[in-house]
């Protein structure tokens, strides 16, 4: 960019309990943080939610010294036909056309993506997969989702759901091998991967194999202490995840996969996943590096600002 006009973007990460705004100045190469503010999420009242965002953005404009476009990262799914929020852990947003309402309230361009897409963009720019021609950001936390970036740009697809690997069905062969129950998924389908490989999914596998009601970190600790059931849970979980990521390689063939969400902190996944993936790939297909995140959850607002830059920057 040669334009000397000052540029900047506000990134807003909306979560169930907090909203974080980070304002960035853009020098044409990178985003530099100049302002950050965090507030509690207004839970049930949509008008109150819009007022809170207006206040945040007004203060960020002052700090940045310009009226900046806004990127917003939201949990849940947006109906591509109506723009309405379908499922969210923020009750005030359910059924609302959030992007439309924010554009009106803020009187400026607003880019909206889901939190997984924002995570992927953040890790593709200055993050763990910086410089990779293609990368996939795979979030494994309370749910499982992701985003695919090509040359640093998020590829969203016709419905905006590209990268929703958590709602692929678990293959019949894997249900049979471990005698797994077919579980309902909040998305309305049954047997989605998310129900088995997310954090709560790993805990479910442990119960299914005869263990207690434990968190993933506790299961790993038990396996280290010699629990055979916990070791079996870890092996089954890594195999299910390995199959999913191997399918991802056969679909998108990313140069790197960056893990995000709570389970990205489990060190054994970086050791076990490459071998688990190889078991589900044919010879000659190389497994891409499986990398820990650089920004992790802290990259949500950053990714949202990058989304606004991707959508609104003029060359
Ligand atoms: Zn599902």
**pLDDT recorded at residue 4:** 55
pLDDT digits (tens, 9 = 90+) for 58-104: 999 999 999 999 999 988 777 777 778 776 678 888 888 988 999 99
Query: Sign of dihedral through CA atoms 278, 272, 267, 200?
Result: positive
Ligand 1 center from residue 168 Cα (angstroms)? 7
Ligand 1 center from residue 26 Cα (angstroms)? 37
Residues lining ligand 1 (ion), CB within 5 A? Answer: 167, 185, 187, 189, 192
CA 29 to chain centre: 24
CA distance readout (Å), 283 to 247, 272, 278, 279, 287: 14, 18, 8, 9, 11
- Greatest mean pLDDT among 45-49, 155-159, 236-240 lies in 236-240
pTM score of the predicted model: 0.91
pLDDT at 120 over 90: yes
**pLDDT recorded at residue 35:** 96
pLDDT at 1 over 60: no
The residues that bridge with 19 in the sheet, in sequence order, are 14, 39
Overall average pLDDT of the 16-45 stretch: 91
Ligand 1 center from residue 188 Cα (angstroms)? 6
**pLDDT recorded at residue 210:** 97
pLDDT digits (tens, 9 = 90+) for 148-180: 999 999 998 888 888 999 999 999 998 999 999
Rounded Cα distance, 6 and 96, in Å: 33
- Helices within 65-124 (DSSP H only): 98-106, 115-124
**Look-up: residue for tokens 């389908």?**
189
Q: Kindly list the structural domains of the chain, giving each domain's residue range(s) and its CATH number in brackets, ordered by start.
A: 8-121+297-312 (3.30.420.40), 131-293 (3.30.420.40)
Overall average pLDDT of the 200-228 stretch: 97
pLDDT greater at residue 3 or residue 103:
103
Question: For residue 192, what are its two tokens?
Answer: 């989605």
Mean per-residue pLDDT over the chain, rounded: 92
pLDDT at 239 over 90: yes
pLDDT digits (tens, 9 = 90+) for 256-295: 999 999 999 999 999 999 999 999 999 999 999 999 999 9
The percent of residues in the chain predicted with pLDDT above 90, rounded, is 76
**pLDDT recorded at residue 90:** 80
Ligand 1 center from residue 190 Cα (angstroms)? 7
pLDDT greater at residue 117 or residue 186:
117
pLDDT at 187 over 90: no
**pLDDT recorded at residue 2:** 47
CA distance readout (Å), 172 to 175, 204, 238: 5, 18, 17
Question: For residue 303, what are its two tokens?
Answer: 């990714």
DSSP state letter for 297: G
DSSP state letter for 289: P
Ligand 1 center from residue 146 Cα (angstroms)? 13
In the sheet where 31-40 sits, what is the strand order?
A: 31-40, 18-26, 8-14, 70-74, 110-114
Ligand 1 center from residue 3 Cα (angstroms)? 45
pLDDT at 44 over 80: yes
**pLDDT recorded at residue 88:** 67
Ligand 1 center from residue 306 Cα (angstroms)? 27
């Amino acid at each position: 960019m040669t334009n000397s006009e000052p540029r900047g973007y506000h990134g807003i990460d909306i979560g169930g309990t907090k909203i974080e705004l980070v304002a960035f100045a853009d020098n044409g190469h990178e985003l530099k943080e100049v302002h950050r503010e965090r507030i509690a999420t207004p839970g049930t009242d949509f008008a109150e939610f819009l007022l809170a965002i207006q206040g945040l953005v007004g203060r960020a404009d002052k700090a940045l010294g310009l009226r900046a476009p806004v990127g917003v990262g939201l949990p849940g799914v947006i109906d591509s036909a109506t723009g309405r929020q379908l499922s969210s852990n923020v009750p005030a947003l359910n059924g609302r056309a959030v992007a439309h309402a924010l554009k009106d309230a803020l009187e400026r361009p607003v880019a909206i993506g889901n939190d997984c897409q924002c995570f992927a963009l953040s890790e593709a720019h200055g993050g763990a997969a910086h410089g990779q021609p293609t990368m996939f950001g795979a979030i494994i936390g309370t749910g499982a989702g992701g985003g695919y970036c090509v040359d640093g740009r998020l590829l969203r697809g016709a419905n905006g759901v590209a990268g929703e690997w958590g709602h692929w069905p678990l293959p019949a062969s894997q249900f049979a091998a471990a005698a797994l129950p077919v579980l309902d998924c909040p998305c309305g389908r049954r047997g989605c991967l998310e129900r088995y490989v997310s954090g709560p999914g790993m805990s479910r596998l442990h119960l299914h194999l005869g263990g207690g009601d434990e968190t993933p970190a506790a299961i790993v600790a038990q396996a280290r202490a010699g629990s055979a059931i916990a070791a079996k849970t870890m092996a089954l979980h890594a195999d299910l995840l390995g199959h999913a990521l191997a399918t991802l390689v056969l679909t998108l063939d990313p140069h790197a996969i960056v893990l995000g969400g709570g389970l990205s902190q489990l060190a054994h996944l970086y050791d076990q996943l490459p071998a688990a993936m190889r078991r589900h790939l044919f010879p000659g297909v190389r497994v891409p590096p499986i990398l820990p995140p650089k920004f992790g959850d802290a990259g949500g607002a950053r990714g949202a600002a990058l989304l606004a830059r991707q959508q609104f920057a003029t060359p």
